[in-house]
Amino acid sequence: MTSIPSHDEDHVLIRQIADGDEDGFKQLYARYGRRLYAYALRVVGSPAAAEDVLQESLIAVWQGAGRFRGEGRVIAWLLSIVHHKALHALRQKPEQALEPLEDVLPDGAIHPEEKAARREQQKLLRQGLTELSVEHRSVLELVFFQGLSLQETADVCGCPVGTVKSRLNYAKNALRGELTRQGLSAEEIV
């Protein structure tokens, strides 16, 4: 999980952006740009579409910073903007969601020091992740990569907390099912 910057520093940055401070905007992007891009990419599925989503989200941040009332963490607010922009993009061009993620990801992401069984499991898990729906994949991203709490995840997705729990449970069963189908035994599926 990515390290979490100070809550207060983020709110100061948002106030600076609300005043039109470009340096504040650059700092915010340096702090969260990678996470926001990663999330957009996981939802829309292609780098070009993810860049468009990120671009629209940043403009929304420019426009909305003055109205941000400091409710909750800034990253949750930013992700909620990206989430909605990304879903909107999917509705406009639904075929983008079908693009396989592995085509746009480098091979070097697999840790070479993992043992053989773990490497195989990781490979299959990544394959399984690409086959999850946007709803289930986005919840996993928000929890494991973005480091959001249960409530924050629900807020970003715009669904009740119970729905987040059920999506996590579904994703777990789907991923395990995928590993089983690929021939991993129960012992190998940790």
Q: Which of 80, 96, 180, 182 binds other proteins (CB under 8 A)?
A: 80
Nearest approach in angstroms of CB 148 to other proteins is: 7
Q: How many CB atoms lie within 10 A of CB 96?
A: 17
Kindly identify the residues of this chain, within the stretch 151-190, that bind other proteins according to CB under 8 A: 151, 154-160, 165, 168-169, 171-172, 175-176, 189-190
Phi, psi angle pair for 186, to nearest 5°: -60, -35
Asked if 117 is part of the footprint of other proteins (rule: CB under 8 A), the reply reads no
If one asks whether residue 106 binds other proteins (CB under 8 A), the answer comes out as: yes
Residue with smaller CB distance to other proteins, 26 or 93:
26
d(CA 35, CA 29): 9
* Minimum separation from the CB atom of position 123 to other proteins (A): 9
Find the binder of other proteins among 13, 43, 44, 76 (CB under 8 A).
76
Contact (CB, 8 A) for 145 and 156: no
Three-state secondary structure string covering 117-186: HHHHHHHHHHHHHHHCCHHHHHHHHHHHHCCCCHHHHHHHHCCCHHHHHHHHHHHHHHHHHHHHHCCCCC
What single-letter DSSP state applies at residue 94? G
Which residue, 22 or 93, is less far from other proteins as judged by CB? 22
CA 60 remoteness from chain centre: 18
Which residue in 149, 174, 180, 182 binds other proteins (CB under 8 A)?
149
In whole angstroms, the minimum distance from the beta carbon of 128 to other proteins comes to 8
Please, which of residues 8-47 interact with other proteins by CB under 8 A? Answer: 20, 22, 25-26, 29-30, 33-34, 36-38, 41, 47
